[in-house]
Structure 1
């Protein structure tokens, strides 16, 4: 399993996910500013991985003698939707105030993330039947975490239990995390996988080719989840065809204070939509809306798979 990030010689190394699956290259982060850039430019992405990276950014700031409260606010501004980013910064600040070093907190957070994801996989495996075909959207695998994965962690656990599963991955426009990352992860571990365009998900459900849907989440609230754009359409199709729709997410992704529609939906650059491989597919002056996430309301969700068990949405 390829490493998403690692800490070595007081430096953070991030796998540059913008170059996958064709090039495996790590970016060296010497300062917290480098970490912020890695998060903003999606060299590292996925809520848990962003959280761990943020903690290491705080560690780099501590080593440089920076004011952690100041740089914590800067790191939080890197991306607005993933709640793990805010959780990780606040956790580092809290534990540093109690006498721990930010470096030790970040290293522990990385180890905990992998253990938590494996626990999510164990609980999630209980809802997977032999010979299930599972559809997933975007990438909530090892590449979105410090390791193992949330939604793909459930799939991994089922595969390890010899349940003879099949996986269908939505391509996930506009950055193609499903095509570039989820398919790559499944192929690495010889898990049967098919790639479809985003618009084909409903068609596959209508044909009876999908038994379960499992996605990740960047924010979970009592009334729904925020996840990669396109998740809502998948959830609506699953509801129409009575297909169980699960969200796999650690408790660090839960926002207990706000409603899901209070979530700030990140708007990304028009070029992500206008260009493919650096070539414009529409005129440069085209007006573009590029929300990175959408909202799946709780009545569309069968269950939320966490390290504490499977929770029923309100």
Structure 2
């Protein structure tokens, strides 16, 4: 939260005055329902200007109830509901990137009684077009805007809690109150102040990230992200893991962290295969616009380090 009580995203979008009182919310509609069975899909690769993001955040309420879509934002999440049923179909999260805004994750309804979903690629394109539509057509196409993003990447063997960087990433439990492995080590190193702080932030959703002070850590900040449990690869694990990295970089950018240490998220007790996880980590941080200048992939054993070094070599 910023000093004026607004979330960092809200402050970036609206300034210190906060959201417009005219912005539509789901409370303005009758008979709307959230997604029943959400699953992650690859998000559209879009960068939106501040004006476009504000238009989206004002909400989209069609005059004709039989029109196809309602849209509103709460915090950094956009909710898209079918106009004639009120049923939730998409949820999209955004992050502020300097003067732009980008999508960090997306979820879709997979209950066939509610929505007959297309392939992930088909849904990503449909969602892209829908976001353009609710931003207020006619408008120029919302095309990706290239931002130079080439942080220095290196893989090291070590203890992430001892890294002297601006921020470390902690693979956290959903309640953010400490679990096992790196999460437990982070809480021990940060001291009881971290748990007390995390009790105030309401947990964290799968694939998302929240930030806290580092307290007694060597780093100023700790970024907590909830990684997926490996279930064979058919339950959106890769998309969720990508989202952990995009969200973590977004939180780092919010506080101006330029040097970040990241562990091998989800490869411990969550069982994600280390080679696949390393490929996702390197690919995602290389393709995500960010102000972070240096990233240390901190590995907990020699086999994980080897997987990351090989992935870095393949990616150039």
TM-score norm. by structure 1 comes to: 0.30
Q: Point out the structure with max Rg over C-alpha.
A: 2
Instruction: Judging by fraction of residues, say which structure has more helix.
Output: 1
